[in-house]
Structure 1
């Protein structure tokens, strides 16, 4: 959560310091960094940890770790060479040849992946989360500090946006070095003590597993980043095709990119509630208790939908104030409002993926992601030419809706209808959000947004009142069961308050 918040919040001072066009330059290349980050943090380490956990003894665990590091070394060198050499073509494809040097800088990050991913995966496989946690937070801290420092220097010395972008993206390499420092000793010890008996057949078999099983984990973890990558290649180009001048198109794309940190913060809120229930889900699978599994999964879906919808609707109502407070203008507010609906579907997709992975059904996940990506690729350009960045936001939301709907087909029928298509629950949830949105809108109208400071006060007061209204409604409207209240953070305290109020 610390790393996610850091990853979202730094974008606000960055945009304030370098402006819309500078932010556009950074965000155009960010998806390439994001994909590499996913490989090294939440994709391959998860797969390696699975391999390690399945191994019979300590010797075999270390052998698998060494073999994984060799496979990833080959894979990372190939990725580096392809990204570095194709940088001019990728930049041209994005409609901006000036981005090529920045892509080359980012490509070096892939070379650090083998040691980082293997170290994290090994320790996770033996149930030690400390090294992963500390390396992740330090990595983000280093990256954020370098980016803010670069943005400040660039603004002070009037660097052009491409020079700023090059140094800002170099933060990925500095951060990778900082993360790798936690695992260098482990890697050296591994190479000294483990006898590597690795036949060509074993190499092929392990590589195939990395590309299929590991690749699927990586793809799903990078879902939102992949949609952003499509935006990098389609939005600016199609804005220009619609008749908007080149420099203006860059600025508009920078405005559109304001949505990323907002959605990320919303998702942290929504998924942190859902994550608290995942141990219960795993426990029911281990105990082969299907009744417990369905009850927990249903609660997981309902709580995630309620929290994500409330966070999304609340932010949409307050978006003019949030936009002015964080970015200094209300440009693109309608596009940000539309994009914020992503929080609902991304949170539900996260939950569906957790349930499907727990029950061993992962094939549909790949087809769901493919369907959403194909939709985004086909319709994004057309939508941008007709409706500008509003069109891109609509297509992103529809892409996530498609991914979620396809994944729902793999869910047990009982879960689909009991958890999500329960008319009584949905009616209560929608009514609660309408009441909350009405109250927050009223607060926003009274307090207004005459200045940036005033917008900040309105956003803060509106958020607090909105959250309080929804919690009170959820209690008196009996939106959640007692068991669901116990599953959410601070649920016990809320239940105690309910009991005290009844007395």
Structure 2
């Protein structure tokens, strides 16, 4: 089980990393107008995809595992067949809504240029549902290899298709609307590649010996009853999964319209929306780390809760929330202080730096929200995180309406920060109370901020000291090269200063480090030798 979880976690990290960082070459090659169209359409696709699959993969794995434990392998295959048919129907329905309603949805976004990209990405909904059902089937047998490999192949092919079509369409002289449609079509080819991997595993499916007396009869009535059972389990999961895409989708439906009301035409509004999205790939990387932690956190807390071990629940929840806070705090301040060199390094210009610096702080509250929500799910409070995210989405809409027409993308960044502070703060307070973890106060709360102070001094030393030194080089570096040296040097110096400060201030103790087997031996002794541990 642990090997399977580790494999799936590694594949998820790799595929998410590929999926997140592919936005950088997209902007570099095609510019911020295409980048804006892509970022307006992709959250819509993710939301529709969540609705189309409706939590079925997890439910399929649950039912398959139960039947497999009883060696009722025909019933496990019945689950796959019924789930696949159900998901193919929902896939066709949502494909039709996107494909034939593309112009209407684009008008709702106040961005008619997005219609071609919406229609392009809709084809993926004919493929992804079946792939999702197959993934759930193999997960039910505790075989994570098919899902892991299909995730990595899917993302790799998606990004490769995007880059090839970008280059081809730009060479042929197409406009931003068609180029963005080519970029989103990568989701279709990626899904097809992922499905091919799953079908390859299905072809190699071993023949399992059925227990005597069990068959695969019952007809359509039995299939219909099973479909209703699957839906009854899946819909609550769908409700929980749809909240985060809704929060992300708010920008797609509000920002182009609000920017146009501020005086921008459609192309300029989408260009500004592309600038706004410069900071999001880096923020999403921090959220990805939190998601990886939460994948192990939910079953760990649920298992301790079933045993009635309140101390274990408190210890696991407390450690996870504290670690998330420390990582997210440093990441947010680091991204904010290095916003300009990071912006130039990744996206060629410093435009949108102010919004990028504000959005950096959403990394902290997004990560806290994910992990605190996982604590609540492990404790059985599955509705609370959803309600907090929906409340945050309402706040984000109201704040965007108030701020974007006056302050543009900077106002949108502040609206996003307000929404994530609300969602993360409510989830954190609820999780601490539910798990019985006391909130840090006084000196314990101030010490991490002291560490941030030391980190900030290190970053400022790099950002202000490196440019004069680089100017003395015999051959001058190009602007992006200079920005890369400053950004990467700042990350290294800031991380080192923060880590040393946390160790010296006693925020991270020897007991904390001893929990990690790789640090319990020589590394811990080395830290003691150099008096980095109190």
The TM-score, its normalising length taken from structure 2, stands at: 0.86
Deviation at 1:370, TM superposition (A): 1.7
1:122 and 1:320, CA in 2 relative to 1: closer, same or farther beyond 3 A?
same
Deviation at 1:273, TM superposition (A): 5.7
User: 1:183 is paired with a residue of what secondary structure?
Assistant: helix
Matched, 1:71 2:86: yes
Residue of structure 2 in register with 1:208 after alignment: 232
1:41 and 1:453, CA in 2 relative to 1: closer, same or farther beyond 3 A?
farther
What is the distance in 2 between the residues matched to 1:424 and 1:208? 49
What is the distance in 2 between the residues matched to 1:489 and 1:5? 26
1:42 and 1:422, CA in 2 relative to 1: closer, same or farther beyond 3 A?
farther
Residue of structure 2 in register with 1:334 after alignment: 354
What is the distance in 2 between the residues matched to 1:135 and 1:42? 20
Residue of structure 1 in register with 2:475 after alignment: none
What is the distance in 1 between the residues matched to 2:391 and 2:63? 29
Residue of structure 2 in register with 1:2 after alignment: 14
Matched, 1:465 2:485: no
Deviation at 1:90, TM superposition (A): 0.5
What is the distance in 2 between the residues matched to 1:245 and 1:7? 30
Which 10-residue stretch deviates more, 114-123 or 370-379?
Answer: 370-379
Matched, 1:498 2:510: no
User: 1:243 is paired with a residue of what secondary structure?
Assistant: coil
**Alignment size in residue pairs:** 497
Matched, 1:177 2:192: yes
Deviation at 1:288, TM superposition (A): 3.1
Deviation at 1:36, TM superposition (A): 5.1
Matched, 1:231 2:259: no
Matched, 1:112 2:135: no
Residue of structure 2 in register with 1:475 after alignment: 503
1:65 and 1:468, CA in 2 relative to 1: closer, same or farther beyond 3 A?
same
Query: Radius of gyration: which is bigger?
Result: 2
Conserved 8 A contact 2:64-2:141: yes
1:365 to 372, 378, 385: 385
Which 10-residue stretch deviates more, 391-400 or 476-485?
Answer: 476-485
Conserved 8 A contact 2:345-2:483: yes
Q: Give unpaired runs (5+ residues) of structure 1.
A: none
Deviation at 1:485, TM superposition (A): 2.3
Deviation at 1:365, TM superposition (A): 2.1
Matched ranges for 1:244-255 at <5 A: 244-255=264-275
Matched, 1:322 2:342: yes
Matched, 1:157 2:172: yes
Conserved 8 A contact 2:247-2:389: no
Deviations 1:200-221 (A, max 9, x none): 454334323322x23134225x
Q: Give unpaired runs (5+ residues) of structure 2.
A: 1-12, 208-214, 471-477
Deviations 1:189-242 (A, max 9, x none): 99x99556453454334323322x23134225xx1x433321111111111101
Residue of structure 2 in register with 1:85 after alignment: 100
What is the distance in 2 between the residues matched to 1:425 and 1:53? 45
Deviation at 1:130, TM superposition (A): 0.8
How large is the RMSD of aligned CA atoms in angstroms? 2.8
1:41 and 1:84, CA in 2 relative to 1: closer, same or farther beyond 3 A?
closer
1:431 to 408, 428, 450: 450
Deviation at 1:286, TM superposition (A): 4.9
Deviation at 1:67, TM superposition (A): 2.2
Which 10-residue stretch deviates more, 319-328 or 77-86?
Answer: 77-86
1:38 and 1:274, CA in 2 relative to 1: closer, same or farther beyond 3 A?
same
Conserved 8 A contact 1:271-1:304: no
Conserved 8 A contact 1:7-1:144: yes
What is the distance in 2 between the residues matched to 1:336 and 1:445? 20
1:424 and 1:39, CA in 2 relative to 1: closer, same or farther beyond 3 A?
farther
Conserved 8 A contact 2:52-2:87: no
Residue of structure 2 in register with 1:301 after alignment: 321
1:424 and 1:299, CA in 2 relative to 1: closer, same or farther beyond 3 A?
farther
Conserved 8 A contact 2:63-2:140: yes
What is the distance in 1 between the residues matched to 2:136 and 2:52? 9
Deviation at 1:466, TM superposition (A): 0.6
